[in-house]
A and B are shown apart, each in its own frame.
Chain A
Amino acid sequence: MSAAGARAAFPANWWLRAGWACLCAYVIYAAARLDFTWERFVVGIDNGARFIGRMIPPVIAQPDSLANGLIESLQIALLASFLGIVISLPIGLLAARNLMPVWATWPARMAIALCRSFHPVIVAILFVKAVGFGAMAGILALVVASIGFIGKLFAEAIEEISLKQVEAVRATGASFMNVITYGVLPQVFTRFIGFATYQLDSNLRNSTMVGIVGAGGIGGTLFSAFQRFDYDFVAAILLSIIAMIMVGEVLAGWVRGVFLEKGKVDGD
């Protein structure tokens, strides 16, 4: 035993403890303010049970509007993904700070930040006001979301590449575009396919939602069924959305598999 007594291995961090105490106090205060209570939850469960009861069994009350809504959602997702990917490629490239001068990266990064700052539903509301009700507004809203997501991740992927490979291609006297296609793209291609298929997946989900604000797709059908209290039809719509998302996920996985397989070498 040392005469100096027990030495503390970890000094007490009073600031940290005070911080945790403040956080706990604020959570309790906020819950009280918002009437976030157990009693309301119990009452709510009762309502929920009745609501679910009315959903069973699901009934396809309007097969035409269900089918049209689903097809429209799918088309919104595909078009928005395609346009979003095509537009985000150059923007992401311009935003990569290791390849581009500041005067190019700065506006590109601003554009990406702007695209990311609002939820797709808010953007959809803006586009409904701008171009009117319908799929056009939904497509534009999801294009914006796709540019924000893929552009940012693509730029980050480019910023992580090995510049040695780029340097070697530059040393052959290759033009700027050839440097990009040989020195840069091979290094980010597989990741880009990953982002793109993920965004397709995400657009598919979001395309079912933009209809709630009138921007086309199954969301509109769902919203009007809700307003008519046709809960059995609501259930049918929800089930078909789930089915569509699952099919989409399988498709996205398949696309990913095809491209990543192609990236490999025969007999490797």
Chain B
Amino acid sequence: MAAPALHLRGLAMEYVRGKPVLRGIDLEVGSEGLTAIIGPSGTGKSTLIRCINRLVDPTAGEILFQGQDLARLRGEALRHARRRIGMVFQEYNLVERLSVMENVLSGRLGYVSPWKAWMRKYPREDIDRAFELLDLVGLSAFPNQRADSLSGGQRQRVGIARAVMQRPQLLLADEPTSSLDPKTSVEIMELMRDLGRSQSIPVMVNMHDVELARRFADRIVGMSGGTIVFDGPPAALSDEQLKGIYGGEGWLH
């Protein structure tokens, strides 16, 4: 592995004092490939993803991304770091009343002045790229449709286009397929994997579905009780290890 794109060191987080959700996570993520984070509900997967772009503030530890410790950034420096990190959400989190195009272009909000953003005066190249991305995610017919008129799968495609619109150097996804049906879930995972490859950026996805993780991930990180208990390629993930991650075995077969 080349120099890691992202390096977490001793990352800890407590929402309530004395009840840690993350207990000193150490993790290196390479500059390419899809990393799936699996684990039972409430084990801190989501918190981990959200700490990286500081939607949640970690209690302790370092988040080294391109030579910067994101955990220490504030104000404008933090916003500039966020511009380089795309994020896809479980419930899509599109601005419902805005059009598909406005949602995709909102990926550029870190670069556009408030006045231009308000007047919808985006640079020509951003607009061209937004149309390209809509073609890529298969939504070129809907640029002016309101986001709340789309289906779940379509919304998530807009969410992905918005994240990629940032030209991110890291793509995060917090349970991107948990609100979708199995077929759409596969399509969304394919899209994320392919986009990660074509942009040559690392993708970190936390997910519930172990089979989906096995199928699409280059690397699987298993979490349990706020720590990493498995880290390796999908092939190395045995039933024994799944038992260690989720506990019990009745659910396995």
Instruction: State how many angstroms separate the Cβ of A192 from the closest Cβ of chain B.
Output: 12
Instruction: State how many angstroms separate the Cβ of A161 from the closest Cβ of chain B.
Output: 10
Residues in chain A near residue B109, CB distance under 8 A: 169, 172-175, 178-179, 182
Instruction: State how many angstroms separate the Cβ of B78 from the closest Cβ of chain A.
Output: 8
Q: Is A177's CB within 8 Å of the partner chain B?
A: yes
Listed stretches B3-11, B40-48, B81-89; interface member: B81-89
Task: Place the interface of chain A in its size category.
Answer: 20 to 34
**Cβ-defined partner of A263 (8 Å) among B97, B117, B166:** B97
Contact of B114 with A177 in the complex, beta carbons under 8 Å:
yes
Residues in chain A near residue B99, CB distance under 8 A: 265
Alpha-carbon distance between A268 and B145 when the two chains are bound, in angstroms: 8
A residues 161-193 near B (Cβ < 8 Å) are: 162, 164-165, 167-175, 177-179, 181-183, 186-187, 189-190
Contact of A178 with B117 in the complex, beta carbons under 8 Å:
yes
Check A174/B95 contact, CB under 8 A, given A168-B89, A182-B117, A268-B146. no
Q: Is A266's CB within 8 Å of the partner chain B?
A: yes
Alpha-carbon distance between A178 and B145 when the two chains are bound, in angstroms: 22
Task: Place the interface of chain B in its size category.
Answer: 35 or more
Contact of A172 with B117 in the complex, beta carbons under 8 Å:
no
Alpha-carbon distance between A179 and B99 when the two chains are bound, in angstroms: 16
Contact of A183 with B95 in the complex, beta carbons under 8 Å:
yes
Residue of A with least CB distance to B110: A173
Q: Mark B111-148, 1 if CB is under 8 A from A, else 0.
A: 01010011000000000000000000000000011100
Contact of A175 with B95 in the complex, beta carbons under 8 Å:
no
* Best-buried of B79, B102, B162 by chain A (most CB within 10 Å): B79
**Cβ-defined partner of B94 (8 Å) among A168, A171, A178, A181:** A168
Contact of B93 with A168 in the complex, beta carbons under 8 Å:
yes
Instruction: State how many angstroms separate the Cβ of A239 from the closest Cβ of chain B.
Output: 42
Contact of B107 with A172 in the complex, beta carbons under 8 Å:
yes
Contact of B106 with A182 in the complex, beta carbons under 8 Å:
yes
Residues in chain A near residue B149, CB distance under 8 A: 265, 268
Residues in chain B near residue A164, CB distance under 8 A: 89, 91, 93
Contact of B55 with A266 in the complex, beta carbons under 8 Å:
no
Residues in chain A near residue B144, CB distance under 8 A: 265-266
Instruction: State how many angstroms separate the Cβ of A84 from the closest Cβ of chain B.
Output: 22
Instruction: State how many angstroms separate the Cβ of A249 from the closest Cβ of chain B.
Output: 27
Alpha-carbon distance between A177 and B106 when the two chains are bound, in angstroms: 13
Alpha-carbon distance between A157 and B45 when the two chains are bound, in angstroms: 32
Q: Is B80's CB within 8 Å of the partner chain A?
A: yes
Residue of A with least CB distance to B107: A172
Alpha-carbon distance between A268 and B159 when the two chains are bound, in angstroms: 21
Residue of B with least CB distance to A190: B97
**Cβ-defined partner of A173 (8 Å) among B81, B97, B145:** B81
Check A174/B96 contact, CB under 8 A, given A164-B89, A182-B109, A265-B144. no
Given A172-B166, A178-B110, A182-B106, 5 further pairs, Cβ under 8 A: A168-B93, A174-B106, A175-B79, A178-B112, A268-B145
Q: What are 12 residue pairs bridging A and B, where the CB atoms are less than 8 Å apart in the complex?
A: A165-B96, A170-B55, A171-B55, A171-B82, A171-B85, A171-B87, A172-B107, A173-B80, A175-B109, A182-B98, A189-B97, A265-B149
